Structure 1
Amino acid sequence: DAFKWACELHTLDVRKGSDIPYIGHLLGVASSVIEAGGSENQAMAAFLHDSVEDTSTSIEQIAERINPEVAGIVADCTDATAEQKAVEKQIRKSLSREDYGHHWWHKRKKLYVAELTAKTMDDTSVLVALADKTYNAENTAADLRGLNEADRAKVWEKFNADEKFQREWYLGLLSAFRANKVYDSRSEPLFRRFEAAVNEIFPIEER
């Protein structure tokens, strides 16, 4: 039911800056969760992890239609509801890209990273978050691969915040996924994929 519902919620959605159906992202995240030893509830949460951010779906609806654990995981993977993002989008129109990144986007992401840093792998949302961020990082790394500086800048334009904020975001996530986390033989390869993707996007020697 979670997969069917996700398909309904995201039926017209595409990946940012492309015409690729968004359901591909959800399938990729869920697949990584399963391969990393995730539970059925974690896999269902993977299908729905963007539903509150990108649609009118509420945490309460997920708890009622699926179950409270899945709803809790989705809540922990959500840094802003669709309604909050709509308000932020209106504010963004009146700000420069730099000011928006600093005053709004940066604060929201910084809070998410702080909360993630404090969690251990006992928190079932961590694996889902790791799978999501790994998928995104690997796609960004692929988009940037082999590009010159001017073309790299064009890639960053499709995101809400520019490269310097994205750097802080990804390096913050990398630190958070290291802190207080003990990975097992099934989940560690997923973390290593994320680490490799971040290091490709932002090479250590250039930080």
Structure 2
Amino acid sequence: MGEFPDYLPQDETARPFSVIERAIQYAAEAHKGAVRKGSLVPYIAHPMETMMLVASMTNDNEVIAAAALHDVVEDTPITIEEIEAEFGQKIAFYVAHESENKREDRPKSETWKIRKQEQLEKTKDASRSVKCIMLADKLSNMRASLRDFKRDGRAIWQKFNMKDEKEQYWYYHAVADVVKELADTPCYQEYISILDIVFHDLDEEMTRDL
């Protein structure tokens, strides 16, 4: 079957690869062998879905390419300097903006909220393009969570570094607030509808506790 993506070698008459095609190739190689958390789904499925969601919100090829690459620096040994050398300053900026400071010297569960707060803060006043990538990334995550929720219910959070569903509730709703300028897009509307389903029971519990 070959590797994903399986392109034929170019010849002299072939058109050059677009920046999006190059980003797909680069991301596929970078994430090779990795799988989505709690599944056997190849990890590359997530950045590809994120890329397609971003493409529904913008025609900017560099923003779309950055979406394909958005987890490369955060989750692989590749550095932001390597991204800039390969794809230029603009794409590197978007990828850097989407990349968390993982603080590898500390347990991920211990730094989870700090990292999420940092991402929210730096995205709050960012450009629409940056917010498109964040929304697409989180919508892709919530689509996967919805599939798991339909099978496993509220136990789905146990596979994550942050297992407290109230913290997950806080974060995903905070994202919705940060990217609310995209409220007119189908991506935002789908995102909100998924939150309403996945966190419905918790919503009711929190309302009763008030």
TM-score scaled by length of structure 2: 0.80
Task: Give the aligned partner of residue 135 of structure 1.
Answer: 140
Residue 175 of structure 1, aligned match among 174, 177, 183: 177
Separation of aligned partners in 1, 2:148 and 2:45: 16
* Residue 119 (structure 1) shift: 2.7
Matched to 1:88, the amino acid is: R
Structure 2: segments with no counterpart, 5+ residues: 1-21
Matched to 1:173, the amino acid is: V
Task: Give the aligned partner of residue 158 of structure 1.
Answer: 159
Counterpart contact for 2:123–2:130, Cα < 8 Å: no
Separation of aligned partners in 2, 1:182 and 1:15: 27
Task: Give the aligned partner of residue 192 of structure 1.
Answer: 189
The farther-off stretch of 107-116 and 134-143 is: 107-116
Secondary structure, in 3 states, of the residue corresponding to 2:169?
helix
Aligned pairs, number? 182
Tell me the alpha carbon deviations over residues 31-64 of structure 1, each in whole angstroms, 9 at most, x when there is no partner.
Answer: 1111222411011111110011101111111111
Secondary structure, in 3 states, of the residue corresponding to 1:126?
helix
* Residue 129 (structure 1) shift: 1.2
Once superposed, which parts of structure 1, at least 4 consecutive aligned residues long, lie more than 4 Å away? none
Residues 20-31 of structure 1 correspond to what in structure 2 (within 5 A)? 20-31=41-52
Counterpart contact for 1:33–1:43, Cα < 8 Å: yes
Separation of aligned partners in 1, 2:146 and 2:74: 24
- Residues 22 and 128 of structure 1: CA distance in aligned 2, closer, same or farther (over 3 Å): same
Residue 113 of structure 2, aligned match among 103, 106, 114: 106
* Residue 114 (structure 1) shift: 2.0
Matched to 2:75, the amino acid is: D
Counterpart contact for 1:59–1:75, Cα < 8 Å: yes
Secondary structure, in 3 states, of the residue corresponding to 2:140?
helix
Matched to 1:141, the amino acid is: L
Matched to 2:194, the amino acid is: A
Counterpart contact for 1:74–1:125, Cα < 8 Å: no
Larger radius of gyration: 2
- Residues 147 and 182 of structure 1: CA distance in aligned 2, closer, same or farther (over 3 Å): closer
Separation of aligned partners in 2, 1:7 and 1:112: 25
Residues 138-149 of structure 1 correspond to what in structure 2 (within 5 A)? 138-145=143-150, 147-148=152-153
Residue identity over aligned pairs, in percent, reads 29
Task: Give the aligned partner of residue 122 of structure 2.
Answer: 115
Tell me the alpha carbon deviations over residues 54-90 of structure 1, each in whole angstroms, 9 at most, x when there is no partner.
Answer: 0111111111101111100001111225xx3x3233x
Structure 1: segments with no counterpart, 5+ residues: none
The farther-off stretch of 3-12 and 36-45 is: 36-45
Counterpart contact for 1:120–1:182, Cα < 8 Å: no
* Residue 182 (structure 1) shift: 5.2
TM-score scaled by length of structure 1: 0.81
- Residues 146 and 4 of structure 1: CA distance in aligned 2, closer, same or farther (over 3 Å): closer
Tell me the alpha carbon deviations over residues 130-165 of structure 1, each in whole angstroms, 9 at most, x when there is no partner.
Answer: 1111100111122112645xxx22x21110012121
Separation of aligned partners in 2, 1:182 and 1:190: 8
Task: Give the aligned partner of residue 77 of structure 2.
Answer: 56
Separation of aligned partners in 2, 1:32 and 1:182: 13
